[in-house]
């Protein structure tokens, strides 16, 4: 099953957002068994962590890719394909990063969470840090 191709612009882009990082590749095939979550060692031990520490740890992941905002939108449309491991966490899609336009230029990522009935998403400002419940969405190649 081949999905839409993006051209470096996420499918959902709010008018007040500027794209900072977003892959210029299509979504390709999806296998929910290859999807997972990643926490830094600090988050695993119950301590919040900074965006810088998380970004450094994510760069060291071997054979795993951080998922982008297009995958989040795809999963919101096809919720039956969301892995169970995503249910009890706020899952951060680090593959796409945005900057607020016309303000202080705050950076943020999109996050998926389960409301108890269904999945939804929100924008999380990177400067706020990341609690132990906020895992990065990753995919094993």
Within-domain flag for 40: yes
- The pLDDT of 42-46, averaged and rounded, is 88
Domain that holds residue 82: 17-22+32-140
State the pairing for strand pair 107-114/119-125.
antiparallel
Q: For residue 68, what are its two tokens?
A: 């982008």
Within-domain flag for 87: yes
Q: For residue 18, what are its two tokens?
A: 């500027």
Within-domain flag for 58: yes
Within-domain flag for 10: no
pTM: 0.83
**pLDDT tens string 26-37:** 567 788 899 999
Within-domain flag for 3: no
Q: How many domains does the chain have?
A: 1
Within-domain flag for 8: no
- Residue of higher predicted confidence among 59 and 135: 135
The most confident of 12-16, 40-44, 119-123, by mean pLDDT = 119-123
**pLDDT tens string 54-97:** 888 877 776 678 888 888 988 999 999 999 999 999 999 988 88
Within-domain flag for 5: no
CA distance 44 to 111: 18
């Amino acid at each position: 099953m081949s999905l839409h191709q993006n051209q470096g612009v996420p499918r959902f882009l709010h008018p007040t957002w500027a794209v900072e990082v977003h892959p210029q590749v299509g979504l390709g095939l999806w296998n929910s068994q290859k999807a997972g979550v990643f926490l830094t060692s600090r988050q695993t031990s119950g301590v919040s962590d900074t965006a810088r520490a998380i970004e450094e740890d994510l760069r060291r992941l071997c054979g795993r890719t951080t998922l982008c905002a297009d995958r989040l939108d795809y999963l919101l449309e096809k919720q039956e394909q969301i892995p169970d491991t995503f249910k009890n966490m706020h899952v951060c899609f680090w593959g796409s990063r945005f900057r607020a336009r016309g303000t202080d230029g705050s950076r943020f990522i999109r996050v998926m969470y389960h409301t108890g009935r269904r999945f939804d998403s929100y924008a999380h400002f990177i400067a706020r840090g990341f609690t132990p419940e906020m895992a990065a969405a990753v995919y094993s190649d």
